[in-house]
Amino acid sequence: MFGLNVKQAIYAWYQKNGRHDLPWRQTEEAYHIYLSEIMLQQTQVKTVLERFYFPFLERFPTLKSVAEAPLDAVLKMWEGLGYYTRAKNLHHTAITCNGILPRHPEELGGLKGIGKSTAHAICTFAHHEALPILDANVKRVLCRYFALSVKDEKVLWEKAWELLHVKHPYEHNQAMMDIGAMICTPKNPNCLECPLSFTCKGKEAPENYPLPVKKVKVPTKQRVALVILKEGKLGLIQRKERLLHGLWGFMQVDVRPGNAESLGKVTHTYSHFKLELEAVICKDLHVNVDGYFTDDQIAKLALSTVDKKILRLPAMMGNISPTS
Ligand code: SF4
């Protein structure tokens, strides 16, 4: 149905306009590509590029080095990137495959945190295999190009296969991601500059493909963070619950203890709720924490963003000893 023209147009567009200089496009090292794919799942290219990709590779130059490191060390390098399950899955996968990623897409897709699209991306970008990818940007381009009102995974995979340029899968997949990020953007797509424009079925009303899903307002939770000080050291816990598992932080409770003195409030929005957290210090409160730390020691722990926000409250300044 779709001749080579649109596929050739996508290929030619990538040669001229693609983001060839991204570091994960300058390597065929599967681990580097895998790392970039995982980091980019929920984070923008700019953030990954400027703050996380290179420091992580410097600390963990091989997947084997990830496998050999404790989870705490991996989480520390992920600190601030959010969605920490990604880091835990990366660590788990590194151990499972003993630092060597399998080459087969189905074996890759069976590893924790690697879905079908990520497995295809690794196989295409590292080994030039002819497999389509289906990340959020590509889904949007396909929905518009084929005028699909609903994002149906099965249909989208069929369409992705249909459009794939099997002779140039590397360039095709990179181009589709770039077109989604730079041209066929969620708002105001630039159809005039788009290589798919000639045969695009959705270009008259791109906003209808897919039809917008009503956003559900996330609930707000109000909680209290306990600032526990002992001889100038700060008492922290290592989280055991699913959210932020493995990260260090302040103990949180639902009810403000009596005698509590407020140090200020911080807020943080997670994917499924907004947290309003009041940090309080209370004298004579005996709670079990997992350890007491000085400023220097805290700097070496992996903390979540919300706990870091508490540490930066003006009322916290000068309360914790710098060194032991
Ligand atoms: S022509 Fe417009 S709507 Fe169609 S894929 Fe290109 S940018 Fe998106």
- 3 state SS for 200-218: CCCCCCHHHCCCCCCCCCC
Q: Residue 250 has what pLDDT?
A: 95
Q: Residue 212 has what pLDDT?
A: 84
pLDDT digits (tens, 9 = 90+) for 200-223: 999 999 999 999 888 888 899 999
Q: Which bin fits 82, alpha (ψ -120 to 50), beta or left (φ > 0)?
A: left
Nearest atom in ligand 1 to the alpha carbon of residue 194 is 6
- The residue whose CA has the least distance to atom 2 of ligand 1 is 191
Does residue 275 surpass a pLDDT of 50?
yes
Q: Residue 9 has what pLDDT?
A: 97
- Looking at per-residue pLDDT, the higher value among 63 and 240 belongs to 63
Candidate from 17, 139, 203 with most ligand 1 atoms within 8 A of CB, to mutate: 203
Q: Residue 3 has what pLDDT?
A: 52
pLDDT digits (tens, 9 = 90+) for 81-131: 988 999 999 999 999 999 999 999 999 999 999 999 999 999 999 999 999
Measured distance CA(204)–CA(284) in Å, rounded: 67
Does residue 4 surpass a pLDDT of 60?
no
Q: Is 148 in the pocket of ligand 1 (CB under 6 A)?
A: no
- Looking at per-residue pLDDT, the higher value among 188 and 4 belongs to 188
Name the average pLDDT for the chain. 93
Q: Residue 308 has what pLDDT?
A: 93
**How many A from CA of 10 to the centre of ligand 1?**
12
Q: Residue 44 has what pLDDT?
A: 92
Q: What is the radius of gyration, based on Cα positions, of the chain? A: 23
CATH 1.10.340.30-classified regions of the chain? 4-208
Q: Is 141 in the pocket of ligand 1 (CB under 6 A)?
A: yes
Nearest atom in ligand 1 to the alpha carbon of residue 206 is 3
Beta carbons of 253 and 277 less than 8 angstroms apart: no
| Mean pLDDT across 148-165 | 97
What is the third-level CATH fold of 220-316?
Answer: Nucleoside Triphosphate Pyrophosphohydrolase (3.90.79)
Closest CA to 161 of 324, 46, 1, 320: 1
Which homologous superfamily is 4-208 in? Hypothetical protein; domain 2 (1.10.340.30)
Q: Is 194 in the pocket of ligand 1 (CB under 6 A)?
A: yes
User: Catalytic site residues?
Assistant: 37
The dihedrals phi and psi of 224, each to the nearest 5 degrees, come to -125, 130
- The residue whose CA has the least distance to atom 8 of ligand 1 is 184
DSSP tally for the chain: helices H, then strands E: 14, 7
Q: Residue 222 has what pLDDT?
A: 96
**How many A from CA of 195 to the centre of ligand 1?**
8
Does residue 79 surpass a pLDDT of 80?
yes
CATH 3.90.79.10-classified regions of the chain? 220-316
Q: Residue 193 has what pLDDT?
A: 97
Nearest atom in ligand 1 to the alpha carbon of residue 197 is 1
Measured distance CA(117)–CA(131) in Å, rounded: 9
Integer angstrom CA distances of residue 110 from 62, 63, 89, 93, 282: 21, 17, 12, 10, 48
Q: Is 30 in the pocket of ligand 1 (CB under 6 A)?
A: no
Closest CA to 82 of 112, 50, 38, 118: 38
| Mean pLDDT across 11-37 | 97
As a whole-number percent, the residues of the chain with pLDDT over 70 amount to 98
pLDDT digits (tens, 9 = 90+) for 292-320: 999 999 999 999 999 999 999 998 887 77
Q: Residue 1 has what pLDDT?
A: 43
